[in-house]
């Protein structure tokens, strides 16, 4: 699926100072969301199964280059959204700064996260999930655990990460620590996450492995013992592009569940793309029921996109989750990037 990026660039040059570059990019998406789970008797906040889902995002990137060829820059993001009939507040992200030279880039602040950057973790769609807004991202093999990602929701997590790419190899190491947010860690020191991701692409194929360790994170009871819910996350993926067709297989283990996802992609004609996926989750029966947030069983979904040109895409999706009841949802709408 071709995506068009329109960037506004300002070049500022003065004596003794390298040229600076500022870019503004983003996207908008809007459509209808039919979610069976919303149509529940007694749900006074939202009794209508059909709602509008929307988001508008602006990303601001600025960078400059030293006389020695080192790039220094930063990113900040603003967005507002409406989902399931509830209008979300407009948010500014905390900033991300970077220093880059050759194949090495170091990010500081609102980092991307090694696991979140793993190829094969998300679908190759406009929402990187199903439908207009991801529809719960049930296609992800990682179940019931948290990992670092760049967020527009205020402070987020502060961290540092290094990404190195050479040829078909990419290595990514990240570290973060959450301070001053009640209820997110087990002690005053805050949760610490350390993650690593290794990816190798050869021809039309790729293989990825990732792992996260966590200290002082939220606890769950497993086998009668308190364990960190975000510790020992393992993720593996492999994929191939066969021209008109593509496929990805991912597997993950967390403290709550093991999970496998198989996704297939087909280009239909010159402008249409169809992606289908199926996920099977096997919950850990030794996790205390009150601490188990993963549904055992099979979920599946299908996503259709039609490129209208000019950065505009029609998107439609359907998801059936592993929940026993109220597990169907459908979305359709438009996504445009600039």
Domains and CATH numbers, the chain: 10-337 (2.40.160.10)
In the chain the first and final C-alpha atoms are separated, in Å, by 15
CB-count burial class (<10 Å; 0-12, 13-18, 19+) for 173: middle
- What pLDDT score was predicted for residue 178? 79
3-state percent breakdown (helix, strand, coil) of the chain, nearest 5? 0, 55, 40
- What pLDDT score was predicted for residue 10? 38
pTM for the structure as a whole:
0.88
Query: How far is 280 from 286, CA to CA, in rounded Å?
Result: 19
Residue pLDDT tens, the chain, 338 long: 333 333 333 333 333 445 689 999 999 999 999 988 877 655 555 557 889 999 999 999 999 999 999 999 999 999 999 876 666 668 899 999 999 999 999 999 999 999 999 999 999 999 999 999 999 999 999 999 999 999 987 666 789 999 999 999 999 999 999 765 555 555 556 899 999 999 999 999 999 999 999 999 999 999 999 999 999 999 999 999 999 999 999 999 999 999 999 999 999 999 999 999 999 999 999 999 999 999 999 999 999 999 999 999 999 999 999 887 778 999 999 999 99
- What pLDDT score was predicted for residue 3? 35
Place of tokens 């506004």: 8
- What pLDDT score was predicted for residue 14? 37
Other residues' Cβ atoms within 10 Å of the Cβ of residue 217: 22
Query: How far is 234 from 103, CA to CA, in rounded Å?
Result: 26
User: Could you tell me which of 250, 251, 291 has the C-alpha nearest to residue 144?
Assistant: 291
- What pLDDT score was predicted for residue 190? 83
Q: Which tokens belong to 83?
A: 């989902």
Question: Would residue 318 be called left, alpha or beta, if left means φ above 0 and alpha means ψ between -120 and 50 degrees?
Answer: beta
- What pLDDT score was predicted for residue 57? 97
pLDDT tens by residue, 11-42: 333 334 456 899 999 999 999 999 888 776 55
Q: What are the DSSP calls for 168-208, one per residue?
A: TEEEEEEEEE--S-TTSSSSTT--EEEEEEEEEEETTEEEE
Query: Are 139 and 169 a contacting pair, CB within 8 Å?
Result: no
Query: Are 44 and 9 a contacting pair, CB within 8 Å?
Result: no
Query: How far is 71 from 121, CA to CA, in rounded Å?
Result: 29
- What pLDDT score was predicted for residue 43? 53
Query: Are 192 and 214 a contacting pair, CB within 8 Å?
Result: yes
- What pLDDT score was predicted for residue 69? 96
């Amino acid at each position: 699926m071709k995506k068009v990026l329109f960037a506004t660039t300002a070049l500022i040059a003065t004596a003794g100072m390298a040229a600076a570059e500022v870019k503004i990019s983003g996207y908008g998406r809007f459509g209808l969301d039919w979610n069976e789970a919303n149509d529940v008797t007694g749900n006074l906040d939202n009794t209508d199964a059909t709602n509008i889902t929307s988001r508008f995002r602006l990303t601001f990137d600025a960078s400059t280059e030293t006389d020695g060829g080192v790039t220094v820059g930063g990113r900040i993001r603003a967005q507002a959204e409406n989902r399931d009939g509830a209008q979300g507040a407009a948010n500014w992200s905390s900033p991300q700064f970077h220093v880059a030279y050759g194949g090495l880039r170091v990010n500081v602040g609102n980092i991307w996260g090694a696991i979140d950057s793993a190829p094969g973790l998300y679908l190759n769609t406009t929402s990187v999930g199903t439908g207009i807004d991801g529809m719960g991202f049930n296609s992800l093999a990682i179940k019931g655990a948290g990992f670092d990602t760049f967020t527009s929701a205020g402070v987020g997590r502060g961290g540092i990460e290094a990404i190195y790419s050479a040829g078909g190899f990419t290595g990514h190491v990240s570290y973060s620590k959450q301070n001053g947010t009640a209820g997110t860690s087990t002690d005053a020191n805050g949760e610490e996450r350390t993650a690593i991701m290794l990816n190798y692409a050869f021809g039309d194929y790729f293989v990825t492995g990732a792992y996260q360790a966590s200290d002082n994170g939220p606890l769950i009871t497993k086998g009668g013992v308190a364990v960190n819910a975000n510790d020992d996350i393992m993720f593996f993926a492999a994929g191939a592009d066969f021209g008109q067709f593509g496929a990805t297989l991912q597997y993950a283990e967390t403290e709550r569940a093991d999970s496998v996802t198989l996704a297939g992609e087909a280009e239909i004609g010159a402008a249409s793309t169809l992606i289908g996926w199926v996920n099977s989750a096997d919950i850990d029966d030794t996790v205390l029921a009150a601490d188990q947030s993963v549904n055992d069983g099979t979920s599946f979904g299908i996503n259709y996109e039609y490129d209208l040109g000019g950065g505009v895409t029609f998107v439609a999706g359907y998801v059936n989750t592993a929940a026993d009841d109220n597990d169907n949802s459908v979305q359709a709408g438009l996504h445009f990037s600039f």
